[in-house]
Amino acid sequence: MKMTVYYYSGTGNSLWTAKAIAKFFENSKVINMTNEFVEEQSDIVGFVFPVHMWGVPHRVIEFVNKLNIKSSTFCFAVAVNAGQVSRTLIQFKSLLKKTGIRLSLGYDIKLPTNYIPWGGPGSKEEINKKIETSETRIENIINDIKNKTELKMQRGPLWQRILFTILYKLSFKQVPLMDKKFSVDEKCNECGICEKVCICNNITMENNKPVWNQKCEQCLACIQWCPTQAIQYGPKTINYERYHHPNIKLSEMILKKMNY
Ligand SMILES: Cc1cc2nc3c(=O)[nH]c(=O)nc-3n(C[C@H](O)[C@H](O)[C@H](O)COP(=O)(O)O)c2cc1C
């Protein structure tokens, strides 16, 4: 039985989750979601991505619209988040339905936050605790996938689904322009890592410094992977710890189309 897990990830949480699931299946591969048309033949297909502004990120929507898979394929999704999954998996199920794909399982997995405009990821102990808890949750997901179980999509409370769905809709079109708040300070050593980790090729190097070009996905890879913490987002991020998943290497984020 062949399995493919597609992922989208800014700071490695979703990539780590995708790899953690795939390793339980013999004939499996983990592939980055791209903008290209995909014809998928696997018997099981998974989608692992972060929750962005209480919903499905742009990149994931674009990917799904270019995906062709057979109707008999068993599909599951994992929405990786920092505690507010809201309506993301319900939204994702209906996005897939429009393209003729049935989503049988939808899980939310909580990992440390990478949304640095609102603060850091917490202490090392808190980060490790969240990762350990997720490992246990992933074991449950594996059983459901192996048994091809059909379950209701996991979701946040009703108030969250109502309020945050409105906010998601209001902010969706603004996302590409939100990079206007990025800046680079004197700590920049001109390494160009920010350009290389940028999923949507939004960063160009001008005079060896990053420039953001208003087609941002807000994955925050640039600010979080910068080795000298030279990138800021607004006035507060200078005070906050950076984060990326401790078991994901920078090289894995740069080689985005690598299969495992
Ligand atoms: C732009 C943006 C918006 C986010 N919105 C939410 C959200 O609505 N709810 C939530 O629980 N986490 C939210 N987060 C946190 C991420 O979903 C979370 O840290 C995730 O694990 C990051 O996954 P990644 O490392 O694969 O990119 C947001 C992060 C970013 C960058």
60-88 per-position pLDDT tens digit: 999 999 999 988 899 999 999 999 999 99
CA distance readout (Å), 10 to 68, 161, 202: 25, 24, 13
Q: Are residues 147 and 196 in the same domain?
A: no
**Which CATH number belongs to the domain containing residue 131 in this structure?**
3.40.50.360
d(CA 58, ligand 1 centre) in Å: 13
Give the number of domains in the chain.
2
Query: 260 pLDDT exceeds 50?
Result: no
Question: Are 15 and 140 in the same domain?
Answer: yes
Residue 40: inside a domain, yes or no? Answer: yes
Secondary structure (3-state) at 240? coil
Distance in Å, CA 193 to ligand 1 centroid: 21
Q: Name residues whose C-beta falls within 8 Å of residue 143's C-beta, 6 or more positions apart in sequence.
A: 149
- Rg (Cα) of the chain, in Å, rounded? 18
**Are 33 and 8 contacting, i.e. CB atoms less than 8 angstroms apart?**
yes
Q: Per residue in 205-238, pLDDT tens?
A: 999 999 999 999 999 999 999 999 999 999 999 9
CB within 6 Å of ligand 1 — which residues?
Answer: 9-14, 50-54, 80-84, 111, 113-115, 218-220
**CB neighbours (10 Å) of residue 146?**
12
127 lies in the same domain as 224: no
The pairing of strands 44-50 and 38-40 is unpaired
pLDDT at residue 26 above 90? yes
In a domain, 144, yes or no: yes
Residues 150 and 200 in one domain: no
pTM for the full model? 0.96
Domain boundary residue among 168, 183, 201? 168
Give the residue from 168, 203, 226 where a domain finishes.
168
Which atom of ligand 1 lies closest to the CA of 10? Answer: 27
| Ligand 1: centre distance to CA 96 (Å) | 21
152 and 217 part of one domain: no
pLDDT at 259: 37
How far apart, in whole angstroms, are the C-alpha atoms of residue 200 and residue 4?
22
Nearest by Cα to 78 from 30, 46, 125:
46
Question: pLDDT tens across 151-182, in order?
Answer: 999 999 999 999 999 999 999 999 999 999 99
Is 260 inside a domain boundary? no
Is pLDDT at 196 greater than 60 in this prediction? yes
Mean pLDDT, to the nearest integer, of 26-39? 89
Asked if residue 209 belongs to a domain, the reply is yes
**259 lies in a domain?**
no
CATH of the domain at 188: 3.30.70.20
Same structural domain for residues 63 and 146? yes
**Among 51, 170, 237, which is best to mutate for testing ligand 1, by the most ligand atoms less than 8 A from CB?**
51
Task: Tell me which residue has its CA closest to atom 9 in ligand 1.
Answer: 84
Contact by Cβ (8 Å): 243, 120: yes
C-alpha of residue 52 to centroid of ligand 1, in Å: 5
Do 201 and 128 lie in one domain? The reply is: no
| 70 and 179 fall within a common domain | no
pLDDT bracket for residue 255 (50, 70, 90): low
The pLDDT tens digits for 97-139 are: 999 999 999 999 999 999 999 999 999 999 999 999 999 999 9
Q: Are residues 200 and 239 in the same domain?
A: yes
Same domain, yes or no, for 29 and 92?
A: yes
Last residue within a domain, chosen from 143, 168, 193:
168
pLDDT for the residue numbered 187: 98
Same domain assignment for residues 236 and 139: no
pLDDT grade for 257, boundaries at 50, 70 and 90:
very low
Residues 25 and 119 in one domain: yes
Residue-range definition of the domain harbouring residue 194: 175-254
Does position 147 have pLDDT exceeding 80, yes or no? yes
Q: Flag whether 41 is in a domain.
A: yes
